[in-house]
Amino acid sequence: MARKKQTQIDPNQAAFSAAWQQLAAHPMFRPMLRFPVGAWQRAGASAVLVDDGGLVATKAIARVDSQGRIRASQAYRLDEHEWTWVLAHCLLHLGFGHLASDRYAPDAAYASVACLAVTRFQRAVKLGTEPLLAPSELPSADEAVLLRQWREAGVPAQLANCGAGGNASDLVATEGHLVGPVGLSLPDWPAQFALGLAAAATAAVDVAGGARTSLTDSASRRQPWDRAMSWFLSSYPLLGALASRFTLVADADYDRLAKDIRRLRKLATLRGTGLGDVLGESLPWTGSPGRGVNLDDFYRRALLDGYTYHEHEGRGHLPAGLVAEIRVLQQPPLPWDAQLARWFDEHVPSPQRARSYARPSRRQASTPGIPRPGWYWPPEPVTRCTFGVVLDTSGSMNHELLGKALGAIASYSAARDVPAARVVFCDAYPYDAGYLPVEEISGRVRVRGRGGTLLQPGINLLERAPDFPPTAPILVITDGYCDVVRVRREHAFLVPLAARLPFTPRGPVFRLR
């Protein structure tokens, strides 16, 4: 029995059909195409590959008429990407309204300007591969300006054939009432293209957000809770900024475990029975927890983002107290800075002014006969406060940390009227710098030593110094790479954020950010 001959598919026809199917799946062109909707046929554009002598005579690749019929020539053998460019070029002519009765003109200048506008759009959105040798740089002037210039001076030779019509125009206008091939009224091409353009923009946002894998992928159906969350985010942006970070999980197993506590207690994980194997608590050591943030930072950022969006969109007025509190969050004080200031207030008190009638103040206009006491500094000698600083100057201490630490010491000393501070530099051996004025601490200080790290001799030097008050506190500045330190008076440690002391400190520890 003779074998049946297998029908061979023309590669050109296969590439043409694949290109048309690709455009039919694209959200930008889907509203413009003709396809069945249930038992009904929707009128739209159609494309066919024909053997037409008129197309061959004018070296045209394809033409499109006002009824949405695209006729492509079989004389051109193109690949799928090139056919995609040709078919998209014809569809964009319809979408741009180049065949509308109130705009169309049969002259060559109009056809060239229309093809130029479509080609510029195709290059911007990267639709297919151009089968023609068009210039790499296209004019960017307005279409109306180019049309007027080209009608007066003629179309440039390099731009005369930038479309799919060859030596003639690729636009074919039909007269009379626009009726589709199946007797249906044709749609408004620019209106349908506008719908497709909006759908393509939505699909692009979904692809960027991970809801779709590509533009041609079908969008997942949104659940009622997703739609409710979207409405809440758009209606209440200030509170929605907090909810925007939440993920709604529709999991039947999780819902059953959340409701059935007894079953949850009987389940065993790798950690044991009734215990979860996910570490939800804070880390058992100090330092930066990686890229995560704590709840305070999360709420602060969410409120700031929501308030910015609320103000930008003009969503209405907010209570003055709430606005004031949110604006305070925009410039939060550094935690280590605030804690260090409180420590200075407790242990380094500043001299206080007093009131006296010996220095009367200005009399009030309402009661000129009543004298008012004035402020003055007591003339009698008072004990000035000071404190000691043990500064780790080993090789592991960087210059930025030293600058921040010395700047903080100088600013708080000046704010509390401390004339000088006792500074001791420590590496492998203590270097007593004596009492340094505040101005020298905030300026250029010669830091001695950049060797090893031994802080205990420097602390012993301060505690045994006869000219250092026994009640003065000591501030130890180190990066944590030191020995065990014992301080027998009020003291505090100033360390970097991720540093860990090798011992249990008895005084407060301020972490420098």
For the chain, give every domain's residue range: 11-197, 221-273+293-332, 388-512
Contact 323, 315 (CB under 8 A): no
> How far, in Å, CA of 463 to CA of 383, rounded?
19
Q: Encode burial over 194-207: b for 16+ CB neighbours within 10 A, e otherwise.
A: ebbbebbeebeebe
> How far, in Å, CA of 165 to CA of 486, rounded?
91
Of the CATH numbers 3.40.50.1220, 3.40.50.410, 3.40.50.800, 3.40.50.12780, which one belongs to the domain with range 388-512? Answer: 3.40.50.410
Give the highest mean pLDDT range of 13-22, 34-43, 401-410, 495-504. Answer: 13-22
> How far, in Å, CA of 357 to CA of 200, rounded?
81
Residue with tokens 């911007």: 124
Beta strand 272-273 with 509-512 is unpaired
* pLDDT(469) > 70: yes
Rg over alpha carbons for the chain, rounded to the nearest Å, is: 40
Give the highest mean pLDDT range of 105-114, 172-181, 325-334. Answer: 105-114
* pLDDT(296) > 50: yes
Q: What is the pLDDT of residue 485?
A: 87
> How far, in Å, CA of 347 to CA of 108, rounded?
90
- Across 340-366, average pLDDT: 65
- pLDDT band with cut points at 50, 70 and 90 for residue 177: very low
DSSP structure string for 200-215: HHHHHHHHHHTS-SST
- pLDDT band with cut points at 50, 70 and 90 for residue 498: confident
Q: What is the pLDDT of residue 337?
A: 59
Model-level pTM?
A: 0.48
- Across 87-105, average pLDDT: 87
Q: Encode burial over 281-313: b for 16+ CB neighbours within 10 A, e otherwise.
A: eeeeebeeeeeeeeeeeeebebbebbbebbeee
- Across 337-357, average pLDDT: 67
- pLDDT band with cut points at 50, 70 and 90 for residue 169: confident
> How far, in Å, CA of 324 to CA of 498, rounded?
33
